[in-house]
Amino acid sequence: MRHGRAFWLFVGPFAAGLLVFVYVPIGWSLLLSFFDARNTVTPTEFVGLRNYADMLTDAPFLRSLGTFSLFALFIVPLTFVLALALALLVNQISFMKAFFRSVFFLPTACSYVVASLVWKLSIFNGVRFGLANTVLGWFGAEPVAWTVSTSPPWYWLVLVTLRLWLQLGFYLILFLAGLQRIPQHLYEAAWIDGAGRGWQTLRYITLPQLRTTSVAVLLLLLIAAYQAFDEFYNVLGTDRGYPPFARPPLIYLYYTALGSGGQDFGHGSAGAVILTLLIAGVTLLQGRVITR
């Protein structure tokens, strides 16, 4: 197919941007992962697969991959179920629908950094006048150092509530859109056939009709879980670095590649490739399981 001048005029700038800012960096990163690339992006020392071998035997990196696989196992179904439940509720109510939809969606518009700081500094700070500790105080409990204590690991409460608050609205909207596309006559036909309102129509009409939406939501949730960075970095990170627990792979790679005291793009890139392959693998597996 031949493209005219107009085609390149409109597509050209975007394609060029994509090439320069997306494809070239991805390719470059792949290239760097085979080199000893310390403090340089034009390395000369080819090391083959050594960076990969190092990363695959690097205990902290493997631990972060493990932690976030667990995190995904937990946060993906939780967000999914909550978003779906909220969407069903919002879809059902007959008054102020737009209001509720907006209210639940609003947090999505909030910056991750700002929300993290609110969670860390006002709701879950460790001193006696923090919001959570004030509430605990009413019941006579001692203040809890929410983001510090590792036994029990209260920081997960902080991080999970924060992530839910930030993300739920977005997936709620996706589900709402899906729900509104289900033809009303399917329900009417079911009722005539004697299906009960509630569980039966949910199980046999709503959920099957939501399949494409569900697959998309699961996919996005899974990628988001492995890509965790912002709220973790802002809640648990300090100027002395990031603690060894609840450390997302991306944060570990960030410190490896760009950490103060030496940039190591070789190992950082190798880790990024491994993470990409892992996400791709899990996504494919999930797609398989769901569409079976």
User: Which residues contact other proteins by CB under 8 A?
Assistant: 38-41, 60, 121-122, 124-128, 130, 143, 145-151, 238-241, 243-245, 255-256, 258-264
User: Taking the complex as a whole, how short is the minimal distance between the CB of residue 117 and other proteins, in angstroms?
Assistant: 10
User: 100 or 126: whose CB is closer to other proteins?
Assistant: 126
For helices 97-105 and 59-92, the axis angle rounded to 10 degrees is: 170
User: Taking the complex as a whole, how short is the minimal distance between the CB of residue 244 and other proteins, in angstroms?
Assistant: 4
User: 170 or 265: whose CB is closer to other proteins?
Assistant: 265
User: 178 or 249: whose CB is closer to other proteins?
Assistant: 249
User: Taking the complex as a whole, how short is the minimal distance between the CB of residue 256 and other proteins, in angstroms?
Assistant: 8
What are φ and ψ of residue 169, in 5° steps?
-60, -40
**Hey, what are 182's tokens?**
């289900």
User: 149 or 180: whose CB is closer to other proteins?
Assistant: 149
152 preceded by cis ω (within 30°)? yes
How many angstroms separate the Cα of 7 from the Cα of each of 4, 16, 72, 118, 273?
A: 5, 13, 42, 47, 34
User: 39 or 92: whose CB is closer to other proteins?
Assistant: 39
C-alpha 118/C-alpha 272 separation (Å) is 30
User: Taking the complex as a whole, how short is the minimal distance between the CB of residue 39 and other proteins, in angstroms?
Assistant: 3
User: 130 or 249: whose CB is closer to other proteins?
Assistant: 130
What are φ and ψ of residue 166, in 5° steps?
-75, -35
User: Taking the complex as a whole, how short is the minimal distance between the CB of residue 16 and other proteins, in angstroms?
Assistant: 21
User: 158 or 273: whose CB is closer to other proteins?
Assistant: 158
User: Taking the complex as a whole, how short is the minimal distance between the CB of residue 151 and other proteins, in angstroms?
Assistant: 7
User: Taking the complex as a whole, how short is the minimal distance between the CB of residue 271 and other proteins, in angstroms?
Assistant: 13
User: Taking the complex as a whole, how short is the minimal distance between the CB of residue 252 and other proteins, in angstroms?
Assistant: 9
Residue of 181, 183, 205 lying closest to 193 (CA atoms):
205
User: 193 or 239: whose CB is closer to other proteins?
Assistant: 239
